[in-house]
């Protein structure tokens, strides 16, 4: 079965072709970072318009890469939510229009399920069951994953997501957008321990997160330093911030593995590409005899490959989810618990 996947939940337009027999055949991605940088963040209306411009050319690109005609597509998967409503509607409209023209079914995919399953696209894909740490600009969650469609929430952020904390802290330090990569690079030049920032909820006794207090602590330090902050002070503060957030994510992840009795941690989402986080998780897991799996760097951020794969698995295990009515809708807010099913 050949599945075309369409991702348009935020500021990346992703298309991909996944074959249930041959695996991932092709993928293409257009990022809107350059367009949104001058505004300091994602502008929803601009994001939607750009998705409209990019969706069909990228569809043609992945078909050409795979050497397949559009008529060879057996089903189309698209991100139905959560995300920006206007952006989601673009992907949903393109998917349903193409499917209607071809007489093929569509399947709406939960964006977080796509991220959860993205490490399974790697050559050394993990086996079920595993604990998943999803860390991105919009989400920070720990989940127990027993099989396809069998997910249970272990803990989540009570306020800011980890990626959001990275972006906001980078802005406080006068760094560019997106802030995550910028603050991580700056932290490499910082002095460890120069700023000992709080580790919110590290010892809370549960697996929930909170990062708003850490962001406030950085703001307090910036104000104490005054208006003219030298580059080394910024690097030291960035190092303190990154060390604090990594410390919490690592501690909670190890606690989740211990609590569930599982031996494998899967990391997904844009923050999963962070070098310091990967080093911290790898070292902590090595000491305890756990294994950590990451998606390819190309699949850490939003992408069409994870949507094509998740859609293909949905259609494989639950053919009843195939929709040929084309009366589509999107779900900007969508609880992952709503898609849990038995295999």
Annotated binding site for Fe cation: 111, 115, 302
Rounded distance, CA 152 to CA 316, Å? 21
Supply the DSSP string of 6-74, one letter for each residue: EE-SSSEEEEEEEETTTEEEEEEEEE-HHHHHTTTS--HHHHHHHHHHHHHHHHHHHHHHHT--GGG--
Characterize the bridge pairing of strands 12-19 and 23-31.
Answer: antiparallel
Binding residues: 111, 115, 134-138, 167, 180, 274, 302
Residues 6+ apart with CB under 8 A from 203: none
Q: d(Cα 11, Cα 23) in Å, to the nearest integer? A: 26
Which residues are registered as beta bridge partners of 23? 19
Q: What is the end-to-end Cα distance of the chain in Å, rounded?
A: 19
Annotated binding site for substrate: 134-138, 167, 180, 274
Closest CA to 233 of 218, 214, 248, 213: 218
């Amino acid at each position: 079965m050949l599945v075309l996947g369409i991702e348009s939940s935020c500021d990346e337009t992703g298309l991909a072709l996944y074959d249930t027999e041959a695996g991932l055949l092709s993928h293409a991605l257009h990022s809107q970072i350059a367009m949104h940088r001058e505004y300091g963040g994602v502008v929803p209306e601009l994001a939607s318009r750009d998705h409209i411009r990019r969706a069909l050319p990228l569809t043609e690109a992945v078909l050409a890469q795979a050497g397949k005609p559009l008529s060879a597509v057996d089903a189309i998967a698209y991100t139905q939510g959560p995300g920006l409503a206007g952006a989601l509607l673009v992907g949903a409209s393109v998917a349903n229009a193409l499917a209607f023209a071809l007489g093929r079914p569509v399947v709406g995919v939960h964006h977080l399920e796509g991220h959860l399953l993205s490490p399974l696209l790697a050559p050394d894909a993990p086996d079920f069951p595993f604990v998943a740490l999803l860390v991105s600009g919009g989400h920070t969650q720990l989940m127990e994953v027993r099989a396809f469609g069998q997910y249970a929430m272990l803990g989540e952020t009570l306020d800011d997501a980890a990626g959001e904390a990275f972006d906001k802290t980078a802005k406080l330090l006068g760094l560019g957008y997106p802030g995550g990569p910028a603050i991580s690079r700056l932290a490499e030049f910082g002095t460890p321990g120069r700023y000992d920032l709080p580790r919110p909820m590290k010892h809370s006794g549960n697996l929930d997160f909170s990062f708003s207090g850490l962001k406030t602590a950085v703001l307090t330090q910036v104000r104490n330093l005054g208006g003219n902050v030298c580059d080394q002070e910024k690097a030291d503060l960035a190092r303190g911030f990154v060390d604090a957030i990594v410390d919490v994510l690592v501690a909670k992840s190890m606690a989740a593995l211990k609590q569930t009795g599982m031996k494998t941690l899967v990391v997904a989402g844009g923050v999963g590409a962070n070098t310091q986080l990967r080093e911290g998780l790898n070292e902590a897991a090595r000491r305890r005899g756990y294994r950590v799996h990451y998606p390819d760097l190309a699949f850490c951020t939003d992408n069409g490959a994870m949507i094509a794969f998740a859609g293909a698995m949905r259609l494989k295990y639950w053919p009843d989810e195939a929709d040929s009515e084309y009366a589509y809708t999107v779900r900007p807010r969508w609880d992952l618990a709503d898609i849990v099913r038995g295999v």
